[in-house]
Structures are given as C-alpha cells and as structure tokens.
Amino acid sequence: MFNNRIGRGESLRNEVAGYIKNLINTGQLKSGDRLPTERDMAENLGVSRTVIRDAVKTLAGIGLLEVKHGVGIFVATPDGNMVGQHLSQLLHYHQDTLEYIYEVRILLEKAAAAWAAERCTPEEYIKLKSLLEEARTIDEADYPERFAELNHNFHLLVAEASQNPVIAILTENILDMMDRNTIETHLIPGRAVRSIDEHERVLTAIIEHKADEAKKAMEQHLSSVLTTLRKKNNEQKDIEKFKN
C-alpha cells in the first residue's frame, strides 16, 4: 500500500486520487483508517507533496477522506450526505449526469407521491397546501431563491409524506445537490408558473387518496421540467457554436 510509483499522466492529482479511492473501494483502507503523512505518500508514490495535497482535497470534497488539521488524514465515516456529495461532483464534471439524475428522481418521486396518497397525514396536507399558496404569491423573477426553496420543500415533504424514510433521505440528497440548478431552472420564463400548476395536480391526487393519479402527475411534472432543461441546454449549445 502506498508503494506504487504513479505514472506521468496528464493529471497526477487525478491518478493519485484514483489510486487512493481504489484502496478504499477494495477494502485495503477502511472507515476511520489513518493515511500516511503527505510527505510519506509523496515519497512512496513518487510525486510532489502538492500533488498529494490536491488529491486529498479532491477526495475530501466528495466525502471519502477527512482532514483533521494537526492530527492527520483519515478515511471518512459514511453518512447520508455522501450520496449528495458524490452526485454533486458528477453533475459538476459530467453534464449528461443531469439526465440520469432525473431518471432516478422520476422513479423515486412518483413512488413517493403514490405512497403519500395512501399515507399522508392531515398535518402534511396542510403544509403542502400552504407551500403552494405561498408560491403563488411570489414573483419568481424577483425572489428566485425563495421560490426555489418552496419548490425544494414541496418535493421533500411529498417524499416524507410517503412515510418511507429511505425515499425521504435519497430525495433530500438529490434536492440539496440540485438547489443551484433549481434556481436557474425557474428563471426560465413560464417555468415557475407551470411547476406550480403541476404541483397542484400532484397535491390534489394526494388529498383525494388517488395513488395512481398522484404517481402519474409527479412523473408528468418531472418529465416536463426535464424537457425544459433539455431545451435550455440545447439553446446554450447553439449559442456556444455560434460564438466559436
């Protein structure tokens, strides 16, 4: 362990990060294990301490390592937030990931909506209705952050109303990771109003205990948002081509 000489590829940082990540994935490094010092890793891998430092920073950023200043570098203990951290890293470097995330969101959230229609409490009905009523009073152009927050809370509350804690945790991770994207999405003219109307259909089906309709309404809503994003991305690509 830590005695392989790293090659001289385009990005030494990525090679070192990949090497350490493989040690974790194969169980050679376990949660809570302390890594060698930066100096020792640099000597053993044949790279500079700066490369080691950058690789550690990359892995710490996605939740695989934890740096305790003055103590050492440790393999992080997994928690629920790591899901969102990994997805956030993927979304940042691979734009196609957005499509895959929406595929998963549709699967998760349409199931959540169906179960919410069967299990939602009266208190949760009231909260969902209150979120929609406030959203209708907001000018999304003036308050995009608040509108995005209400959108976030609506989807999270539907997931919680399913009474399935696993779906709630996974949905929360995905929503947290996509918050910045959500604000930009609802700045697209007409998207915010359309989302409110679609949320209304989801809520109506939940209140009426119509599981199949709730599932269908949520799937149609998220598919509609994805269509809007595809159109925006295609338009941006056309602009970039024109500039070049």
Element (H, E) at 66: strand 65-68
pLDDT tens-digit series, residues 148-157: 889 999 999 9
pLDDT tens-digit series, residues 85-115: 555 555 544 455 678 889 999 999 999 999 9
Say what the alpha-carbon torsion angle 108, 169, 157, 87 is, to the nearest 10 degrees.
-70
- Can you tell me the distance from the alpha carbon of 101 to that of 30, in angstroms, rounded to the nearest whole number? 28
Q: Which residue has the tokens 């199949």?
A: 212
pLDDT tens-digit series, residues 116-149: 999 999 999 999 999 999 999 987 667 778 888 8
**Confidence category of residue 237, pLDDT binned at 50, 70, 90:** low
**Residue 192 in 3-state DSSP?**
helix
pLDDT in the model for residue 20: 92
51 and 163 assigned to the same domain: no
Strand partners of residue 72 = 68
Number of domains in the chain: 2
Domain of 54 in residue numbering reads as 12-75
Q: Is 137 exposed, middle or buried (0-12, 13-18, 19+ CB in 10 A)?
A: exposed
49 and 104 assigned to the same domain: no
* Residue range 175-194: mean pLDDT, rounded: 82
58 and 103 assigned to the same domain: no
Q: Is residue 87 part of a domain?
A: yes
List the CATH number of the domain containing 208. Answer: 1.20.120.530
